[in-house]
Structure 1
């Protein structure tokens, strides 16, 4: 219950801040988003380009865990994971609030789950992230970015969204490790404390998820 209340309050606080307390929306924001989306990047700060594209990497990282976690949930995890491609943590926080602890995977992996469970997916996302981060850091104008962060709601909220996604991943990490029979507290904290790249390393090295039939679960001896 404490976990549910905490995530609910965090979601509510983020919504209130984003819409009522963040810097005002600036003219030309829609045009900026359109140009970022279609790759017309001329004249745009590389740091902003990198951040915008990393906000497309994060939903893929979470999907690699949420779609699997959702197999044992009463709520449709795919709905929240899909919505996160558009609104990031605004969609994932309600899922974290309503989900139940789930350290088992029951059933067969479909094509989508096999793809999300593959280490190759982790490797590809890691390479893409390294390219984006390198591009943003080497070519970016930090002074301009800070000024835009202080005055532009879109850039301000997107940056906070990115930070939240970095902080929230450990909330799903423990159950995902348990589903794979991976008991390693030191590795858990190593992944949890490294923003962004910790989660990518995890997806690249985690053991494959074992398929377990419902009949196998029912035959396990009861424990007191």
Structure 2
């Protein structure tokens, strides 16, 4: 755990580093998904902000308690514009691809399984990673290509880059 937190990635299983780093990208993805479409009874921005430290554990209450959609949209227009800009989304996509290449090229599943068995942090990270992936799949429930969301971070980013966000049913 200390090696991950202190940034000593060279001594950690590459797949663990990949998952750890992706967990830092998921909050940015969810900010891009939630904040520009924030028109529910419960505001989404505090949950998006908390997800940077708590991951899915901050987002799950929002999805359960957000209430009905209203006609009034809230949010920070300049921030929302940045979160949905192709430049920002392509940057996230590029970083994700680099992480995937590193993790899958240099890592081993057996090494990850060992880390999972011996580290509570890796176990919690893994659960968080899968819950966040599942939440992105749920967010795109009305989209005909939502199956692509099974590719963590990559799938939702591709959808965000190729569709008009106003037609998604977030």
TM-score, shorter chain, exceeding 0.5: yes
Of residues 107-116 and 97-106 in structure 1, the stretch that sits farther from structure 2 once superposed is 97-106
| 1:44 to 2:2 alignment | no
- 1:77/1:95 contact within 8 Å kept: yes
- Compute the TM-score of the two structures, normalised by the length of structure 2: 0.85
The alignment covers a number of residue pairs equal to: 167
- 2:17/2:103 contact within 8 Å kept: yes
1:75: which partner in 2?
42
| 1:155 to 2:122 alignment | yes
* 1:159-190 Cα deviation digits (max 9, x unpaired): 1110111111133335xxxxxxxxx7423x33
Counterparts of 1:10-159 in structure 2 under 5 Å? 29=1, 31-35=2-6, 39-70=7-38, 72-102=39-69, 106=73, 110-159=77-126
Q: Taking structure 1 as reference, are residues 105 and 173 closer, same or farther at Cα in structure 2, changes over 3 Å only? A: farther
Matches of 2:137 and 2:35, distance apart in 1: 16
- Compute the TM-score of the two structures, normalised by the length of structure 1: 0.66
- Alpha-carbon offset, residue 193 of structure 1: 4.5
Which of structure 1's runs of 4+ aligned residues deviate more than 6 A? none
Q: Taking structure 1 as reference, are residues 69 and 208 closer, same or farther at Cα in structure 2, changes over 3 Å only? A: closer
2:144: which partner in 1?
186
Counterparts of 1:161-176 in structure 2 under 5 Å? 161-174=128-141
Matches of 1:157 and 1:108, distance apart in 2: 31
- 2:37/2:73 contact within 8 Å kept: no
- Alpha-carbon offset, residue 206 of structure 1: 2.5
- 2:13/2:112 contact within 8 Å kept: yes
Q: Taking structure 1 as reference, are residues 150 and 123 closer, same or farther at Cα in structure 2, changes over 3 Å only? A: same
- Alpha-carbon offset, residue 153 of structure 1: 0.8
Runs of 5+ unmatched residues, structure 1: 1-28, 175-183, 211-224
- 1:121/1:204 contact within 8 Å kept: no
In our comparison, the structure showing a higher alpha carbon Rg is: 1
Runs of 5+ unmatched residues, structure 2: none
Determine helix, strand or coil for the equivalent of 1:100: coil
* 1:4-59 Cα deviation digits (max 9, x unpaired): xxxxxxxxxxxxxxxxxxxxxxxxx3x23422xxx332311111111111001111
